[in-house]
Chain A
Amino acid sequence: MSTSTVTRAEVCAVACAEIFRGAGEIMASPMSPTPTVGARLARLTFEPDLLISDGEALFLAETPALGGKAPVEGWIPFGRVFDVVASGRRHVVMGANQIDRHGNQNLSAFGPLQRPKRQMFGVRGAPGNTINHPTSYFVPRHTTRVFTDRVDIVSGIGYDKVDSTNPAFRFHHLHRVVTNLGVFDFGGPDHTLRALSLHPGVTAEDVAANTSFEVADLATAETTRWPTEEELRLIRTVLDPKGLREKEVSA
């Protein structure tokens, strides 16, 4: 398998797999195609003990392609997902309509709370996810509209919302933000967005031009690693033979 034709979506899939490195025996809950490829790739390579579901109510014993079927190992209806959330044994990768530099996220609506300009899903499980267990974000199109100074509605809570005097906040952890441009975390000054790596071909200027606020360590960020040949084989022939990742990620 040639690495010379690796796509941006494939680099993203591997970066999403890396989100789960060291996660152990927890439920991986990716919410869109590329992070799903990533979670399954991690499970087929370095994190075999991850639990994955069909997105509906079944835990899968094996690791199928996107949309594919696999033998089942357990039952996880929605009501029980809330038990897992409260237990902390989960790492979710959500999408985001907006993210600010402290990691506040919005997928609810744009505009005022009681009279929005545009309605999306509502807060969904974002408040419970972010306060209970590791949370990462995947943004397939990194723009200043997403990476904004201030989110309209805080669905997923950022580091500046953490009350350090209240131990109820002690499980809050935003692990990674993977976008079509790079890999980030909140390890900048005062838990602000920091560049860990930029994808091959992406410059610091590209990221700066598409982010409303200053990104820490942008000049010194490394280059995101290439997929290995084995990872490429798994992505292309086992996990996503239909190439759904390419529809999600814009280069």
Chain B
Amino acid sequence: MRDKRISLEEAVSGLRSGMTIGIGGWGSRRKPLAFVRAILRSDVTDLTVVTYGGADLGLLCSAGKVRKAYYGFVSLDSAPFYDPWFAAARTGGEIVAREMDEGMVKCGLQAAAARLPFLPIRAGLGSDVVNFWDGELRTVQSPYPDAEGRTETLIAMPALNLDAAFVHLDLGDKHGNAAYTGVDPYMDDLFCLAAERRYLSVDRVVETEELVKAVPQQAIILNRMMVDGVVEAPGGAHFTFSGSYGRDERFQRHYVAAAATPESWAEFKARYLDVSEAEYQSAVRTFAEERTQL
């Protein structure tokens, strides 16, 4: 079986400007932020991003790498809740928003996973979601009338086909079998099924035997057919949480505060983003130690 272990840089080198990428996790939960940091270090830009958004989308917006975003929401999940960089990109009119109901994101990924052009869904009807999509979102009429002879017209959610997907799980093997260890798989399996190239980071790469012993079978949400590259990235979801560590609330607040002025952001960027992943993790440990001493 193929050994799919690669580096963050190798994974990101497969990206081209203008691509559509899906980012797994949910809000500020198990986001593949090591991959996002690697994208920030690359010169890839003009991205279309599909996400249940959190600081992943915020960080990409901070570097002006997003042209268009498909999302159900953008939230940091704890105060101050609204991501500052996503907000700045939106109020500055820098990105095209294809905002939609949360359930429509899942529906669009399911359509892509099943190689269907669309799936019908009720969510979206009557709301401004339709106006967010500038004609890209159509309806479909049922060929089956109800008992009274009336037919339902529903949203025809288009497939959210992805050029690449990035997800972070807690535990995996070098072939791409992988599991979550928290309470929720989120939509990471669907992101992988909807994408051409699938990149997985895990906190720990273990032998297959150890993986299947460590978790219930139902937690192994990715199999080899769903993954092209495996990156071992301890702390790869930081500052969102993974199964084995909580959200770093202090650091997330620090991220938000740093976005307030160009000077504070330049400082944050120099210390945490214009550095390798190993240097990031080291700087984050130093940050935690400094704050503990205060």
Residue ranges of A at the interface with B (Cβ–Cβ < 8 Å): 56-58, 75, 77-79, 82, 85-86, 108-109, 111, 113-128, 130-132, 153-157, 161-163, 165-169, 171-172
Contact = CB atoms under 8 A, between A and B. Distances in A.
A168 B72 CA distance: 21
B127 A168 contact: no
Contacts of B128: 108, 113, 123, 153-155
Given A78-B184, A167-B150, A169-B125, A122 B91 contact: no
Contact of A168 (B91, B125, B129, B131): B125
Nearest to A112: B93
A78 B26 contact: yes
A79 B187 contact: yes
Given A78-B102, A115-B90, A153-B128, 16 more contacts: A77-B184, A78-B26, A82-B103, A114-B93, A115-B92, A117-B91, A124-B102, A127-B126, A128-B122, A131-B122, A131-B123, A132-B123, A154-B127, A157-B125, A167-B146, A167-B150
A157 B53 CA distance: 23
Chain A, interface SS category: loop
B108 to A, nearest CB: 12
B73 A123 contact: yes
B185 interface: yes
A128 B126 contact: no
Interface size class of chain B, counting residues whose CB lies under 8 Å from the partner chain: 35 or more
Interface in B163-189: 183-187
B101 A123 contact: yes
10 contacts: A57-B184, A78-B184, A115-B90, A118-B87, A124-B101, A127-B126, A127-B127, A128-B104, A131-B122, A166-B125
Nearest to B86: A119
Interface string B106-147: 100000000000000111111111011000000000000010
Most buried by B among A79, A85, A126: A79
A126 B127 contact: yes
A169 B139 CA distance: 14
Given A123-B72, A123-B99, A128-B102, A169 B90 contact: no
Contacts of A108: 99, 128
Contact of A167 (B82, B86, B106, B152): B152
Q: Which 9 A-B pairs have the closest CB atoms?
A: A128-B123, A161-B126, A115-B93, A119-B87, A157-B126, A127-B127, A57-B183, A77-B184, A127-B101
Contacts of B71: 122
Contacts of B183: 56-58, 75, 77
A33 B184 CA distance: 23
A118 B87 CA distance: 7
B97 interface: yes
B179 to A, nearest CB: 14
Contacts of B146: 167
Contact of A122 (B74, B92, B106, B152): B74
B153 interface: yes
B75 interface: yes
